[in-house]
Structure 1
Amino acid sequence: MTPLLETRDVGKTFGSVVALRGVSMTVERGGVTCVLGDNGAGKSTLIKILSGVHAPDSGTYLVDGEPVRFGSPREALDRGIATVYQDLAMIPLMSVWRNFFLGSEPPARGPSRALGGFDVATAKRVAREELRRMGIDIRDVDQPVGTLSGGERQSVAIARAVHFGARVLILDEPTSALGVKQAGVVLRYIAQARDRGLGVVFITHNPHHAYPVGDRFLLLNRGAGLGEYGKADIGRDELTSLMAGGAELDELAHELRRTDTPS
């Protein structure tokens, strides 16, 4: 099956700074590709290439098997590639349903249509149905989105992207500022999106969040790919060790033991 997204030896530089070099990854239908790396690993640059903010300087970016070169995020969105950033682009004082349809409100019927009004009843009904379809139980779609928990806000953003035609969902550190319970809520909705046939790119620095939902794992370190692994090829402990720089940690532990030894 042709992957939804694929990068082959993609690189990006900013002046003398090499942000990415030789990064290859695959995103399949109904699969979650986790991109792991610490701060400065190149995750943000990779997101911006996938979402059309930047074009790569080298390598190839393919969508549905065809090389592409997006000039803007709008072009990526038109191909079904939606990105949910950490700030979520939501207005806290607006209701859940208004945030769900923000900028894409269903037009009103009758005379109000000519005045630029929109169909409030339909917007509320669709928002409620789409959230429920994703397994998201919001008490009242009229409540301000700022009253929701962090995990609930992330889930609303995911459901919104799915409703508006996303085939690939790029999630930028969706669990980074959440507690254990709320992170679990978001991971459940990532699995829901995967089960609906979407391709998901899950950007994270936490291998314990990535491993339960991931199907493929790309590790980045200082802009370079350390390899892409299928779940059958790597265990959680090995993933954690590679992510943390296992050899460097072993050396540090050895040095600390020597320091603690009385002379």
Structure 2
Amino acid sequence: MATHCVDRELLNDWHIVADRESLSRDKPFPTRLLGVDLIVRERAGRFEVIRDDTGVALKSAERYGFIWTCLGTPRRDIVFIPEANEADRHLVSGGSIAVKVSGLRAVENFLDMGHFPFVHTGWLGEEPHTEVAPYNVEITAEDEVLATECKFYQPVASPTAREGFVVDYIYKVIRPYTVALYKSNPIQKHRLDVITLFVQPVDEENCIAHPYLCYLKDGMEAATVRSFMQLIFAQDKPILENQVPKRLPLDPRAETPIRADAVSVSYRRWLRDRAVTYGAIPARV
């Protein structure tokens, strides 16, 4: 397993390295990104990110309540989430959850509707509603993987749900380790709640998931949003940590897909086309 990353796509992009709420101004916070040990510390009224091996201060920023850094030279800005600017939404961190698996596996699991009835029984799915209906997948002009017309019956789609209903989903893979989910709000069904999963690749077989929740406030407190997300992710974590292999195979022959895996197949192909190998088992040539 490679110790450090050589993928320019990842080295020259922004990644979350800490939740602002978890930091103390008088105590440095150790973490790791792409195999590189880092220290997050406060200096002159702002947080900075330092490489532990060289002492060099990296480019850093604070956005959405998280501390971000880039190990190389940023080729683009931090992911923009327009819903974060809407005043009638709770903007909540779902916590920082360490998971013993490749971050690419965590993203792929987030895209998988097929596991809802079996892993999130009574919440995001239940029998006999187990079939994933056909949906559309495309690569957008912005070079993102977009899955639309996704529909799935959920008994408790969110904390405000009072009955089960068929939920409309849209998935968007924005960066290799960043994926967003837009889903029907049970009260304002013409609008969508948004969950963005920022995954911090600690190394090739370990990650930290940083969910960022933009939920409509109607009928719900911010603490309830956070608790619901943590409940769902706690159900996912043991499944993820039992994945074999821990890294994501990119060879189309490695794991047999089914129709419901259309977005996963597109995601893996998208990673191959961008020469992303960190956290993956590259395809054989």
TM-based fold match above 0.5: no
- TM-score, L = length of structure 2: 0.26
- TM-score, L = length of structure 1: 0.28
Higher relative contact order, chain-length normalized (CA < 8 Å, sep 6+): 1
In terms of fraction of residues, the more strand-rich structure is 2
